[in-house]
Amino acid sequence: MAEKRILLKRVGKMTDPASVEEYEALGGFASIKKAVQMEKEEILQQVDDAMLRGRGGAAYPAGRKWNHLYYNDTWPKFIVCNADEGEPGTFKDKVLLSKDPLAIIEGMLIAGYLFGSHEGFIYIRGEYHEIQQVFLKAIENATKAGYLGEKILGIEGFDYTITMVSGAGAYVCGENSALLNSVEGKTGRPRIKPPHLADVGLFKKPTLVNNVESFACIPVIMEMGGLAFREIGTEDGGGTKLVCLSGHVKNRGVYEVPLGTPLQEILYSEELGGGLSTGRPLGFIHFGGQSGPLGFPEKMEGMLYSYQDLWDHGLAIGSGAIVVMDDSVNVVDYLENVMGFFVHESCGKCTPCRLGTLRLRELLQRFQKGYAKAEDMQRLESMLTHITNLSACGLGQSVSVSVKSGLGNRRQVFEAMMG
Ligand SMILES: Cc1cc2nc3c(=O)[nH]c(=O)nc-3n(C[C@H](O)[C@H](O)[C@H](O)COP(=O)(O)O)c2cc1C
Ligand code: SF4
C-alpha cells in the first residue's frame, strides 16, 4: 500500500517552494483561475460535495462552516489560517507550510474571493521560525506576481492581502477563539462560545478559521471537483489525510493516505509505517495528539482509518497524529506524562481545568508510587467527568479523553499499581 499524494504532489519537486514560477509550472494557481469563472454558489457546492472535514482536529465539515459564513451579510469578513500546530505528535502542517506554501495561499485566496474578504491572516507557530521566513517569501512572491494585492487576476474589487502572525508557544492559542484574541494583540485565551466565530470573530466580524491542511485541500477540490475528492475518501469524510506516524514505529514521518485506508496498512505496510521499530507487540496507539483517545489492539481489528470507523470504535482522527507505543510502555506512566503537558498548557482561566489537571496528575502519580487506594480510583473517575463538563474550552474538555480510554481498557494496570 503506497501513499496517494494529492496534497503532497509538489512536495520535494520544487527547488524553491516559495517560487510562483515553479508553483505554476506544477499546476499552481489554476484553481483560483477556475474558481473566478464559476458562480460563487458553485464554489460552495464543490466544497460541500467534497465532504471535507476540518483537518485541525474537530472534524467539522468545511462546507457547513463555509455556508454559514457565506450567508452572513455583515462585512468585512476575515479569513484566518490556523498554522499553530501545537498538538504533540502532530507535524504535518509544517510540511505544507515549508514545502508548498503557495498552495495554502491559493486555498485562502479562493476563500477570500468567495466571501468577498479583503484580508487574510495566517497564525504560524512561533517555534517554526524558519518556516515563517519561507512563508513570508511566498507571500512576497505571490504579491509581486499579482496573486495578492489589488485587482487580482484583473478583477475589479478582488483585493486581498495575507498577513503572517507569529504564535508565541502556547498550545491553547491553537484553539480558534484564543488564536483570534492573540491576532488582535490580546492575551491568547479562549472566548466563551457562542457566538460562533462565523458571526463574531476577528475584531468582532464574521471570520472563517480553517487549518492549514484544510486550506490546502481547497485548490485540489476546485481542480478535481468536490465529488471526485469525496470518492477518494469515504462517504463521511472525503479526500486524503496527512498522518503523522511517531513513537515505536519503524518509518516515522508524514504520509498522505486516502481516508478509509485500513489502519493495519498504515502501521505495517513497508511503504508506510513498516511495523514496530522495537520488534515487540503493539501496546496502544494515541490518536490525534494528547487531546485524543488511546486505541488498544484488541479493539482495533479490521478498523479503517476513516472518521466514522474511528468514532464507531470510540476513537477519533483528530489532527492526524498516530503515536505508536509497544507493549513495554506502562499506560499509567504514559498518561501521567500526558497530564504533565496539560498542567503546563492550561491557560488558567477556569478552575476545573487549572487545578483539575494538577490534581489528576497527582492522582496518577499516586498510582505510580503505589500509594493509590480505592477512594483514589473513585476520585479519579469523578474528576474525569467534572473536568470535561466544567471546562470552558476544548483544551479542558479533552484533558480526560486519554485517561478515560486508558482506564476503560486497562483498568487492571491501574489496579495492579494500587497500594
Ligand atoms: C487546545 C486546542 C488547540 C488547538 N490547536 C489547533 C492547532 O494547532 N491547529 C489547528 O488547525 N486547530 C487547532 N485546534 C482546533 C481549532 O480550534 C479549530 O477547530 C480549527 O482551527 C478549525 O479548522 P478546521 O475546521 O479546518 O479544522 C485546537 C483546538 C483546541 C481546543
Ligand atoms: S478549559 Fe483550560 S485552557 Fe480552556 S479556558 Fe479553561 S482554563 Fe483555559
354 lines ligand 2 (CB under 6 A): yes
Claim to verify: residue 170 and residue 65 sit in the same structural domain: yes
If you measure from the C-alpha of residue 189 to the centroid of ligand 2, how many angstroms do you get, rounded to a whole number?
A: 8
Distances (CA, A) of 79 to 18, 110, 161, 241: 21, 10, 10, 22
What's the predicted TM-score (pTM) here? 0.98
Whether residue 101 is preceded by a cis peptide bond, meaning omega within 30 degrees of 0, is no
Claim to verify: residue 281 and residue 183 sit in the same structural domain: no
Which ligand sits nearest to residue 122's alpha carbon? Answer: 1
Residues ≥6 apart with Cβ < 8 Å to 206: 69, 72, 74, 75, 77, 78, 198, 199, 200
**C-beta of residue 101 within 8 angstroms of C-beta of residue 134:** yes
Residue 83, domain CATH: 3.40.50.11540
177 lines ligand 2 (CB under 6 A): no
Crossing angle (nearest 10°) for helices 62-70 and 40-50: 160
If you measure from the C-alpha of residue 91 to the centroid of ligand 2, how many angstroms do you get, rounded to a whole number?
A: 24
pLDDT at residue number 400: 97
Claim to verify: residue 300 and residue 352 sit in the same structural domain: no
If you measure from the C-alpha of residue 343 to the centroid of ligand 2, how many angstroms do you get, rounded to a whole number?
A: 11
User: Which residue range forms the structural domain that includes residue 311?
Assistant: 240-326
pLDDT at residue number 2: 79
Q: How many structural domains comprise the chain?
A: 3
Residue 306, domain CATH: 3.10.20.600
Of 184, 216, 232, which closes a domain? 232
- From CA 156, how far away is CA 160, in angstroms rounded? 12
Claim to verify: residue 313 and residue 390 sit in the same structural domain: no
Claim to verify: residue 265 and residue 366 sit in the same structural domain: no
Query: Does 120 fall in a domain?
Result: yes
Number of alpha carbons in the 13 Å side-chain half-sphere of residue 217: 34
If you measure from the C-alpha of residue 144 to the centroid of ligand 2, how many angstroms do you get, rounded to a whole number?
A: 42
Claim to verify: residue 290 and residue 195 sit in the same structural domain: no
**C-beta of residue 218 within 8 angstroms of C-beta of residue 111:** yes
Sheet with 240-247, side-by-side order of all strands: 253-258, 240-247, 321-326, 282-287, 294-295
Please name the residue ranges forming H helices in 36-125: 40-50, 62-70, 93-99, 101-115
Which ligand sits nearest to residue 398's alpha carbon? Answer: 1
Mean pLDDT for each 10-residue chunk of the chain (419 residues)?
93 98 98 98 98 98 98 97 97 98 98 98 98 98 98 98 96 98 97 96 98 98 98 97 98 98 98 98 97 97 98 98 98 98 97 97 98 97 96 97 98 97
β-partners of residue 323 are 246, 286
Query: Does 217 fall in a domain?
Result: yes
Instruction: Tell me which residues have their CB closer than 6 angstroms to ligand 1.
Output: 54-58, 60, 82, 84-87, 171-172, 174-176, 209-211, 214, 393-395
Residue with the three cell numbers 518556516: 131
